[in-house]
């Protein structure tokens, strides 16, 4: 079974969380996710997230902390090992370089987005009282 390591960043500004919609023509079209991507074989998880945030949003993450991880099986042949990081600060001007749409959402609104299945356990956690503390 193929396994891939994926990292994603949770960016909060003024109490709102950045969520990103995948492009219509790609894999999992128009699904929502947190910014990030695959870890290359020659890089660490945090380095991969910093690279992805620069490629997708044009920002340089300054401080990260891992807040959640889990494994999601998309099919009998495809497993994703996900690590989610809180992005405490960044430099640069955040711009959409890779997505159909970006949105800033209150935690209580996350359930209204059609997230990737692999992100749903984190979304459920964030909607809980203890999960909200992860973003403060």
Quick check: is 95 in a domain? no
Quick check: is 26 in a domain? yes
Q: Does the structure show a pLDDT above 90 at 78?
A: no
- Domain range for 52: 2-90+100-135
Percent of the chain with pLDDT over 90: 87
Average confidence score pLDDT of the chain: 94
Quick check: is 116 in a domain? yes
Who has greater pLDDT, 133 or 107? 107
Quick check: is 56 in a domain? yes
Query: Distances from the Cα of 82 to the Cαs of 18, 72, 109, 134, in angstroms?
Result: 18, 8, 22, 17
Quick check: is 68 in a domain? yes
Residues whose CB falls within 8 Å of the CB of residue 23, separated by 6 or more in sequence, listed in order: 29, 30, 98, 99, 100
Count the domains in the chain. 1
Q: Tell me the per-residue pLDDT of 89-130, one tens digit each, with 9 for 90 and over.
A: 999 999 999 999 999 999 999 999 999 999 999 999 999 977
- The CATH number covering residue 40 comes to 3.90.79.10
């Amino acid at each position: 079974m193929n396994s891939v390591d994926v990292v994603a960043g949770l960016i909060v500004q003024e109490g709102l969380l950045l969520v990103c919609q995948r492009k219509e023509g790609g894999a999992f079209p128009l699904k929502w996710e947190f910014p990030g991507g695959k870890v290359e074989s020659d890089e660490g998880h945090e380095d991969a997230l910093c690279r992805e945030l620069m490629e997708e949003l044009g920002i340089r993450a300054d401080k990260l902390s891992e807040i959640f991880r889990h494994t999601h099986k998309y099919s009998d042949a495809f497993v994703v090992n996900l690590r989610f990081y809180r992005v405490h600060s960044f430099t640069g001007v955040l711009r959409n370089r890779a997505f159909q749409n970006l949105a800033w959402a209150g935690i209580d609104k996350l359930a209204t987005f059609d997230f990737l299945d692999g992100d749903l356990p984190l979304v459920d956690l964030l909607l809980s009282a203890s999960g909200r503390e992860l973003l403060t």
